[in-house]
């Protein structure tokens, strides 16, 4: 007799065969992109502006926060505004991954209970949606930057590795929080306050260099701190980011991704029972 | 035909279920209040009740077999299907599956009501494990089978429930797996469409495929299946020739051969 294609045995917390898992996830990549696209389209389905909101949202957001800065600090210059928009848009890539990811498993109940597929697909598509939302904002930022007349420099290409690190971090966070939400639903209600706190702890409304020395310890506990500072240095100031910042943020991203994915993969077979 | 993997010979085992047990643990906080939570924290853990959904089930399905699963509500039919398809992990026992499995446990899984019928054919097909090319090749066939006409380009939330179910069935019936598991999905649409979908299931019967059908429509099962298994309260009661098992089940239910049980789906 031939060997079985699938064997199902009682659940034990442990990793599934990773190669097989990856293959089955990779074979569903079209589904991931189609699923994400349809979710994205649904979000603005009924509105007059429709997909235009993908550009309107970041513009309005940056305008509101700019107003806040001008009121608080009394005055502002173009670099400041560029810094605000650049970092705010990247921050929202992470924040959207978190808000989309947190309920991705619990909201995918129908899919989970009726089809067998690698469950990590759901938080992955939450991150894909966040990336789809981020790309137009990047174009908006480049337009703003040109209008403000900031000089272009080769060092701006440092933004690419920074962006890749951010995506890995966003993926790790989405996977982790979606898994936590299966066991502890209250996390979804805490999340808005967590992201808001993270927003104020990150160098967005201020620049990293403005921070008082006694508050610099904040850097150590916030993975977004080195990322946003590197992003701003590269895209706004046209400087190479600090090597230490790049390494620290890479460490955070890889660490969170590995821990979160391990946690998720070793638990995912149990999700159907927990929903 | 999509998803055809290596061919399987008749009478080769497709699914082997050994000593399968499945238990659910449910919390029985009647009124989940914060006070009750705090009190139970002190006692250590919530009060729970263990429900045995499946108990020592042994079941082999061979290629060429069309197995009908019958039983009252709560007998464990759907749980068994979910365990075989790998959605729920078993509590005890071992399941071996030899071939590609496609499940039709609920209609319209993966559909997004805001999108058009056309987009949902792709979404549903991809969710069922088809590739984009396969769906492209079968699109006309799916659209025609669903009899939606121009409505295929309208958003699905404007569909009647019958239209919705018809499109969902049409998508699912296009997948050609080695092992197909269908859970009460034959009852879609009006009498004519029911007939049509029943014929589609009959077409799917072949020597190199195993079909497992869960249904309450006894007449249908008697017509389609060549083997029937009867589950009751998580245990396998009887298995064998459709007529014999269904007669025994009817006697058990003490309803006789009434119209309701034949036609009900």
Q: Please write the tens of the pLDDT for every residue from B52-105.
A: 889 899 999 999 899 999 998 888 888 999 999 888 888 889 999 998 888 888
The confidence score (pLDDT) of residue A97 equals: 96
The confidence score (pLDDT) of residue A179 equals: 94
Q: Please write the tens of the pLDDT for every residue from A197-249.
A: 999 999 998 888 888 887 788 788 899 999 999 999 999 999 999 999 999 99
- Which residue segment(s) compose the domain that B87 sits in? 13-19+60-263
Judge whether residue B265 has pLDDT over 50.
no
Nearest CA distance, A116 vs chain B (angstrom)? 5
**Chain A residue whose CA is closest to B13:** A1
Evaluate if pTM is beyond 0.90: no
- Is any Cβ of chain A less than 8 angstroms from the Cβ of B119? yes
Find the mean pLDDT for residues B142-166. Answer: 88
Range from A79-93, A100-114, B101-115 carrying the lowest mean pLDDT: B101-115
The confidence score (pLDDT) of residue B32 equals: 55
The confidence score (pLDDT) of residue A242 equals: 93
Structure-model confidence comparison of residues B161 and A166, the more confident one: A166
Sheet strands side by side (includes B13-27):
A6-8, B92-97, B13-27, B48-62
Nearest CA distance, B106 vs chain A (angstrom)? 6
CA distances from A93 to A101, A118, A129, A161, A187 (A): 12, 24, 9, 15, 19
Find the mean pLDDT for residues B110-122. Answer: 88
Q: Please write the tens of the pLDDT for every residue from B196-232.
A: 888 888 888 887 888 999 988 888 888 889 999 999 9
The confidence score (pLDDT) of residue B127 equals: 84
Residue with tokens 């121009």: B150
Q: How confident is the model at residue A8 (pLDDT cuts 50, 70, 90)?
A: confident
The confidence score (pLDDT) of residue B43 equals: 59
Find the mean pLDDT for residues B33-41. Answer: 65
Q: For residues B223 and B213, what is the distance between their CA atoms, to the nearest angstrom?
A: 12
Residue among B212, B201, B218, B196 nearest B263 (CA): B218
Structure-model confidence comparison of residues A84 and B4, the more confident one: A84
Range from A86-90, A92-96, A188-192, B159-163 carrying the lowest mean pLDDT: B159-163
Residue among A148, A146, A179 nearest A257 (CA): A179
Judge whether residue B123 has pLDDT over 70.
yes
Q: How confident is the model at residue B3 (pLDDT cuts 50, 70, 90)?
A: very low
Q: How many CB atoms lie within 10 A of CB A45?
A: 16
Q: Please write the tens of the pLDDT for every residue from A47-85.
A: 788 788 888 888 898 889 888 888 877 766 888 889 999
Q: Please write the tens of the pLDDT for every residue from A129-151.
A: 999 999 999 999 999 899 988 88
Judge whether residue B125 has pLDDT over 70.
yes
Token code pair at residue B195: 């007939």
How far apart, in Å, do the first and last CA atoms of chain B sit?
29
The confidence score (pLDDT) of residue B73 equals: 87
Find the mean pLDDT for residues A85-107. Answer: 94
Residues of A in contact with B16 (CB under 8 A): 4
Q: Left if phi > 0, otherwise alpha if psi is -120 to 50, otherwise beta: which for B89?
A: beta
Mean pLDDT of chain A: 89
Q: For residues A27 and A10, what is the distance between their CA atoms, to the nearest angstrom?
A: 26
Report strand pairing: B13-27 vs B235-240: unpaired
Chain B, residues 8-37, CB within 8 A of chain A, namely 12-13, 16, 24
In chain B, the percentage of residues whose pLDDT exceeds 70 is: 83
Q: What per-residue string of b and e applies to A172-195 under the rule 16 or more CB within 10 Å gives b?
A: bbbbbbbbbbbeeeebeeebeeeb
The confidence score (pLDDT) of residue B4 equals: 44
Please judge whether B109 and A110 are an interchain contact, meaning their C-beta atoms are less than 8 angstroms apart. yes
The confidence score (pLDDT) of residue B264 equals: 46
Contact call for residues B213 and B69 (beta carbons, < 8 A): yes
CATH of the domain at B231: 3.40.50.300
Find the mean pLDDT for residues A261-275. Answer: 87
List of residues 6+ apart from A209 with CB closer than 8 A: none
The confidence score (pLDDT) of residue A146 equals: 92
Please judge whether B127 and A5 are an interchain contact, meaning their C-beta atoms are less than 8 angstroms apart. no
What SS3 string covers A216-241? CCHHHHCCHHHHHHHHHHHHCCCCCC
The confidence score (pLDDT) of residue A51 equals: 81
Q: For residues B144 and B152, what is the distance between their CA atoms, to the nearest angstrom?
A: 10
Residues of A in contact with B115 (CB under 8 A): 38, 41-42
Contact call for residues A176 and A264 (beta carbons, < 8 A): yes
Q: How confident is the model at residue B11 (pLDDT cuts 50, 70, 90)?
A: confident
**Chain B residue whose CA is closest to A6:** B97
In a domain, residue B44? The reply is no
Parse chain A into domains and list their residue ranges.
29-274
Q: Left if phi > 0, otherwise alpha if psi is -120 to 50, otherwise beta: which for A74?
A: left
Contact call for residues B246 and B228 (beta carbons, < 8 A): yes
Judge whether residue A253 has pLDDT over 60.
yes
Q: What per-residue string of b and e applies to B78-87 under the rule 16 or more CB within 10 Å gives b?
A: bbbbbbbbbb
The confidence score (pLDDT) of residue A114 equals: 85
Contact call for residues B58 and B17 (beta carbons, < 8 A): yes
Helix, coil or strand: residue B171: helix
Judge whether residue B6 has pLDDT over 70.
no
In a domain, residue B33? The reply is no
List of residues 6+ apart from B213 with CB closer than 8 A: B66, B67, B68, B69, B182, B186, B201, B221, B224, B225
Structure-model confidence comparison of residues A55 and A1, the more confident one: A55
Q: For residues B12 and B226, what is the distance between their CA atoms, to the nearest angstrom?
A: 16
Output DSSP code: residue B87.
Answer: S
CA distances from A88 to A56, A68, A199, A233 (A): 14, 13, 8, 14
Please judge whether A4 and B97 are an interchain contact, meaning their C-beta atoms are less than 8 angstroms apart. yes
Output DSSP code: residue B5.
Answer: -
The confidence score (pLDDT) of residue B2 equals: 41
Find the mean pLDDT for residues A167-180. Answer: 96
Q: Which of A43-52, B121-130, B253-262 has the highest mean pLDDT?
A: B121-130
The confidence score (pLDDT) of residue A46 equals: 73
**Chain A residue whose CA is closest to B78:** A114
């Amino acid at each position: 007799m031939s060997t079985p294609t699938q064997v199902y045995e009682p659940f034990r917390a442990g990793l599934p065969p990773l190669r097989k898992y990856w293959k089955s996830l990779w074979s569903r990549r079209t589904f991931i992109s189609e699923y994400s696209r349809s979710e994205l389209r649904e979000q603005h389905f009924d509105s007059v502006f429709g997909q235009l909101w993908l550009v309107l949202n970041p513009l309005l957001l940056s305008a509101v926060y700019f107003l806040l800065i001008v009121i608080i600090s009394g005055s502002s210059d173009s670099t400041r505004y560029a810094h605000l928009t650049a970092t705010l848009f990247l921050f929202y890539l992470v924040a959207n991954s978190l808000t989309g990811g947190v309920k991705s498993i619990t909201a995918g109940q129908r899919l989970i209970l009726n089809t067998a597929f690698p469950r990590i697909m759901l938080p992955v598509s939450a991150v894909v949606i966040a990336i789809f939302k981020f790309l137009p904002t990047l174009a908006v930022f480049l337009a703003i930057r040109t209008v403000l007349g900031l000089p272009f420099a080769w060092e701006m290409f440092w933004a690419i590795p920074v962006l890749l690190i951010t995506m890995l971090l966003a993926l790790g966070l989405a996977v982790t929080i979606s898994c936590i939400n299966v066991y502890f639903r209250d996390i979804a209600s805490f999340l808005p306050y967590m992201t808001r706190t993270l927003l104020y702890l990150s160098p967005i409304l201020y620049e990293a260099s403005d921070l008082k020395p006694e508050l610099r310890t904040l850097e150590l506990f916030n993975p977004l701190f080195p990322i946003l500072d590197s992003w701003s240095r590269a895209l706004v100031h046209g400087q190479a980011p600090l090597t230490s910042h790049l390494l620290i943020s890479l460490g955070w991203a890889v660490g969170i991704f590995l821990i979160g994915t391990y946690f998720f993969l070793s638990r995912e077979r149990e999700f159907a029972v927990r929903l | 035909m999509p998803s055809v993997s290596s061919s399987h010979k008749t009478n080769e085992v497709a699914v082997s279920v050994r000593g399968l047990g499945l238990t659910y643990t449910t919390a029985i906080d009647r009124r989940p209040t914060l006070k009750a939570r705090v009190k139970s924290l002190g006692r250590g853990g919530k009060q729970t009740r263990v429900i045995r959904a499946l108990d020592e089930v042994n079941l082999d399905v061979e290629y060429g077999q069309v197995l009908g699963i019958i039983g009252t509500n709560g007998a464990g039919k759907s749980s068994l299907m979910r365990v075989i398809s790998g959605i729920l992990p078993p509590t005890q026992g071992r399941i071996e599956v030899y071939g590609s499995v496609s499940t039709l446990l609920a209609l319209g899984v993966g559909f997004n009501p805001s999108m058009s019928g056309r987009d949902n054919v792709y979404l549903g097909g991809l969710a069922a494990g088809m590739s984009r090319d396969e769906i492209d090749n079968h699109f006309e066939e799916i659209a025609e089978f669903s009899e939606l006409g121009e409505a295929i380009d309208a958003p699905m939330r404007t569909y009647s429930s019958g239209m919705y179910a018809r499109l969902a069935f049409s998508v699912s019936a296009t997948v050609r797996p080695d092992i197909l598991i269908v859970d009460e999905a034959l009852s879609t649409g009006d009498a004519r469409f029911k007939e049509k979908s029943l014929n589609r299931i009959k077409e799917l019967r072949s020597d190199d495929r195993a079909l497992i059908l869960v249904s309450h429509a006894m007449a249908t099962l008697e017509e389609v299946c060549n083997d029937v298994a009867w589950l009751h309260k998580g245990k396998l009661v009887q298995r064998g020739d459709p007529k014999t098992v269904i007669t025994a089940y009817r006697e058990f239910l003490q309803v006789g051969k009434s119209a309701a049980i034949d036609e009900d789906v």
